[in-house]
Amino acid sequence: MTIANPRSAIRFPEFDYQQRYWMIIDGEQVQAADGQTYRCVDPFEDAEWGYVPVAGASDVDRAVRSARAAFPAWAKTSPFARLELFRRWAQLIREHSSELARLQVHENGKTISEMNMVPGALAQSAEFCANYALTLHGETVTPIMPGHTAWTERVPIGVVAAIAPWNNPLGLLQWKLFGALASGNTVVVKPSEVTPVSTIRLIELALEAGFPPGVVNVVTGAGATGAALVEHPGIDKVAFTGSTATGRSIAQAIAPRLIRATLELGGKGANIVFEDADLDRAAEGVLTGIIAGTGQACNAGSRILIQSSVRDEVLARLENLMSQVVIGDPLEPTTQIGPLASRPQYKKVTGYFDIADGEEDTSLIVGGRCGTDVPGVTGGLFVEPSLYATPDRASRLRREEIFGPVGSVIIFDTEDEAVEIANDTEFGLVGGLWTRDLDRARRVSRQIDTGVVWINTWRAFSPNVPFGGRKVSGLGHEMGLDIFEEYTEPKAYWHGPDNS
């Protein structure tokens, strides 16, 4: 494995390691009412930096009340006026793209080569949502009752709690934030405690663009902060990305209030390689599904299904590709895998190496080392990209979401067997297949029980294409032309007959 040379100079000279960051409530920068803070951790250096507020229940209440107070005026704001604000915001995002990218690298170790693409995508998504909001229209209906007229319009829901994860905080927040705001809702954002600062900066740019106070707020903290937000009676909808376990807890918490939710949860994507595929492209796609985001992605292709007739050819290609993967400082442009995002995540992923050692039928194909066991890596929260053969259906590596660069290899003989194995999971977020046969591509993709299917590609996204899961992978969809159905509701109006 090739090791990127770490930087010997201070990696982030623009950020003061003792800097105090602020929440944003009602257009103001505020600390927690009780003064509590915590520190971020740079996973490459495994070193603490900055001080971030820990929002208590009173801080969450203040943020929700601010959003509630701002909602009536924002809901009445012309979508054309909102569009102008979004245009300014998008321009500021572009102007601060390097800052936003570097902040997220600092927070969670995502590679700069991947992060450099994110701010541009944010700006495009903001403009898309604001422009598409101009097309929100109701309809006139001819009802069954004689002499009556009826019509509808789509109205915003109210105050949205947008809870973003640590693995891709800016990229996944955009799917909630822009659609909610563009359609007239106000928002309280709660970023992960691992990655708060890049989100704070994004919302500071919104205020700089001219968004009114209270329209978008940020509270920071860990699980208790998120629970206070979800359980607050002033919240009308929760939009969450994270683990299935946390998604279930949120659903239980909001069930008595019967409020709406969009839950984008876990995944265990099957990446199927058929014998007629372009094997070079397929191997590269499989590698992407394993290592992108250091494997910390709900859309990872963590189950690799290979047709038996090309097993040796595909595995040889994968072993060769993985031997060339560059692991190291995420600020280096050539680095393909940075560190895992946090100490708890490092402990979780490395624990699966021990689990694999204890499974009778599971065997290591390549990788399996962590931390200082990886040649050339002297620190940081690193694991080596790894592949395991998992013929046993009960294997935990095969069934559980590891959320690291660890792939489970499964061999199949027939097309029907591939489909059956792909669907043999509680998850249903993404899946994919590699084949030159167009009929097979159509036939198999329709049978894969996931919200997204990629054919001869992996990890393709666009703001006008929906993303969401089936089974325990979630409820509702983000992005796409129907996004505003998630953040508005139809309202019906009746006019009776004129009896004059």
Round to whole Å and give the CA distance between 355 and 489. 47
Give catalytic status of residue 176 as yes or no. yes
Burial of 12 (0-12, 13-18, 19+ CB in 10 A): middle
Structure-token match 């329709």, residue found:
446
At 200, the amino acid letter reads I
Round to whole Å and give the CA distance between 370 and 385. 9
Among 176, 190, 237, 268, the active-site one is 176
Among 298, 370, 401, 415, the active-site one is 298
Instruction: For 464, list phi and psi in degrees, rounded to 5.
Output: -100, 15
- Please count the other Cβ atoms lying within 10 Å of the Cβ belonging to residue 223: 10
Round to whole Å and give the CA distance between 413 and 119. 43
Quick one: DSSP state of residue 307?
E
- Evaluate whether 138 touches 359 at the Cβ level (below 8 Å): no
- Give the residue from 280, 269, 289, 272 showing the smallest Cα distance to 405: 289
- Please count the other Cβ atoms lying within 10 Å of the Cβ belonging to residue 69: 14
Among 114, 193, 264, 384, the active-site one is 264
b or e along 388-413 (b: 16 or more beta carbons within 10 Å of the residue's beta carbon)? bbbeeeebbbbbbbbbbbbbbbbbbe
What SS3 state is found at 361? coil
Q: Which two tokens stand for residue 12?
A: 């982030």
Among 384, 401, 478, 486, the active-site one is 478
- Evaluate whether 298 touches 468 at the Cβ level (below 8 Å): no
Which residues lie closer than 8 Å to 255 by C-beta, 6 or more apart? none
Round to whole Å and give the CA distance between 10 and 329. 12
Instruction: For 13, list phi and psi in degrees, rounded to 5.
Output: -65, -20
Rg value, the chain, Cα: 24
Give catalytic status of residue 231 as yes or no. no
Catalytic residues: 176, 264, 298, 478
